[in-house]
Amino acid sequence: MAAPAREAAAPAPAPAPVPAPAPVLDVERVRKDFPILSRTVHGRPLVYLDSAASAQCPRPVMRAVEDYCMQSHANVHRGVHLLSQEATAAYEGARDRVRRFLNARSTREILFVRGTTEAINLVAQSYARPRFGPGDEILITGLEHHANIVPWQMVRDQTGCSLAVAPIDRRGELPLNEFFKRLTPRTRLVAVAHVSNALGTILPVEEIVSAAHARGIPVLIDGAQAVSHRAVDVRALDCDFYAFSGHKLYGPTGIGVLYGREALLAEMPPWQGGGDMILTVTFERTTYNELPWKFEAGTPNMSGAVGLAAAIDYVEGLGLDAIGAHEQRLLEEATAELQRIAGLTIIGTAAHKASVISFTLEGIHPHDLGTILDSEGVAVRTGHHCAMPVMEFFGVPATARASFACYNTREEVHRLSAALHRAREVFR
């Protein structure tokens, strides 16, 4: 009998794609770029865990600002002399660098401002105020920074529109069903944080934008706490406005960005008047400049823009994936260590968090805790973190907050927890 024909061997299943390993950051090399990190505080090596408030500047940023000041500084746009042309090229070059960083379509969509706060105020006064009135609603969330609350309250008081707040839950997450319930025919604008500064929560901004857009509602994203941890692509997000600050991205203070969808910016009136934002002026009337300059009245912050562009080069050089992965490892380690400290409560336990850890320690006011940690050389922020409604929600007057950046190390996490153990002893 003939042997039964063997079944043709089934093709081997394709191996499941192996996720690429998270890139590794050479932190010791990174630290050499930040001269301030080698100073001492109260006789101890500095442990800087306050980068969510303001990140430190690396040498390439300082050098870019210095080179600009030493070689090319002059006022921009109007000068025919070489220095003015160089300054203009540096300033407008920085704008294009930001455009590429955010993957915006055009430099007409990139406005330089002082920071996130000014960016949101610009949208409030130039987009919302002329359009909204009684019956209209602006929707924010319960975890916003004051910069994404107060400008809308001002618009509310100026126009009679109202402000709705989607609640957060006890983990510091935004339940989307609650958020979606508040998207109503009255909603005219959604303004949400990408990442909460007080809790670390990463918001599902993609879902928020698509739900809002399905109802024709534009969305502003406060990206102050996001851009230093993850790549942001405004076209992929499809948001209408995106705001961030240079000083939280290892850049200088006094410079920030508002990305705005060109069609919206084109319809918006200027928000400040003066030089540079005009084409012609008579005593009777003024014609306004084109985008983006229509929104940049007065001499801009050229050296700040140059420094911001250098900061973007710096983080992209390290790789935002590598930075994010490194910070996540520190966050996990810090969370595990802090959870072992008796009486310590972590405020903000969302499943998706950026490298921010807010906490209280029973029996010690956060300000006293901050002072003790400072005496150990450990710099954390204490207070309400410009998010008083978040503090109220969690029933605490304040928290201590450690935030981790590309230059922090595991050893520094241990120094934080050792200092917290010492604080426990002092207040026992």
Alpha helix segments (H runs only) across 142-261: 150-159, 176-181, 205-214, 234-237
Residues 6+ apart with CB under 8 A from 139: 164, 165, 166, 179, 182, 183, 187, 189, 190, 191, 217
- In the complex, least distance from residue 200 CB atom to ligand PLP, rounded to whole angstroms: 11
Q: 75 near 87, Cβ under 8 Å? A: yes
**Sites of contact with ligand PLP (CB under 6 A):** 53, 115-117, 145, 147-148, 193, 197, 222, 224-225, 245, 386
- In the complex, least distance from residue 25 CB atom to ligand PLP, rounded to whole angstroms: 23
Task: Kindly tell me which of 307 and 377 has the beta carbon lying closer to ligand PLP.
Answer: 307
**Three-state secondary-structure class, residue 70:** helix
Task: Kindly tell me which of 120 and 419 has the beta carbon lying closer to ligand PLP.
Answer: 120
DSSP 72-97: I-S--SS--SHHHHHHHHHHHHHHHH
- In the complex, least distance from residue 165 CB atom to ligand PLP, rounded to whole angstroms: 16
- In the complex, least distance from residue 224 CB atom to ligand PLP, rounded to whole angstroms: 3
Task: Kindly tell me which of 148 and 349 has the beta carbon lying closer to ligand PLP.
Answer: 148
Task: Kindly tell me which of 146 and 171 has the beta carbon lying closer to ligand PLP.
Answer: 146
Residues 6+ apart with CB under 8 A from 114: 254, 255, 256, 301
Q: 393 near 168, Cβ under 8 Å? A: yes
Task: Kindly tell me which of 296 and 376 has the beta carbon lying closer to ligand PLP.
Answer: 296
Exposed e or buried b per residue across 393-405, where buried means at least 16 C-beta atoms within 10 angstroms of its C-beta: bbebebbbbbbbb
Task: Kindly tell me which of 192 and 344 has the beta carbon lying closer to ligand PLP.
Answer: 192
Residue count of the chain: 428
- In the complex, least distance from residue 197 CB atom to ligand PLP, rounded to whole angstroms: 3
Task: Kindly tell me which of 155 and 224 has the beta carbon lying closer to ligand PLP.
Answer: 224
Q: Is omega for the bond preceding 292 within 30 degrees of 0, making it cis?
A: yes
Name all contacts of 238-242 with Cβ < 8 Å and 24+ positions apart: 238/209, 238/210, 238/213, 239/205, 239/209, 240/264, 241/119, 241/123, 241/127, 242/102
- In the complex, least distance from residue 249 CB atom to ligand PLP, rounded to whole angstroms: 10
- In the complex, least distance from residue 117 CB atom to ligand PLP, rounded to whole angstroms: 3
Nearest to 232 by CA among 152, 166, 315, 303: 315
Which of these is catalytic: 69, 239, 386, 406?
Answer: 386
Task: Kindly tell me which of 245 and 301 has the beta carbon lying closer to ligand PLP.
Answer: 245
| Residue 161 appears among annotated catalytic residues | no
Alpha-carbon span 366 to 47, nearest angstrom: 18
Amino acid letter at 88?
Answer: T
- In the complex, least distance from residue 223 CB atom to ligand PLP, rounded to whole angstroms: 8
DSSP 27-44: HHHHHHT-GGGG-EETTE
DSSP 123-153: IIIIIIHHH--TT-EEEEETT--GGGTHHHH
Alpha-carbon span 335 to 341, nearest angstrom: 10
Nearest to 151 by CA among 36, 258, 265, 24: 258
Please identify every residue annotated as catalytic: 386
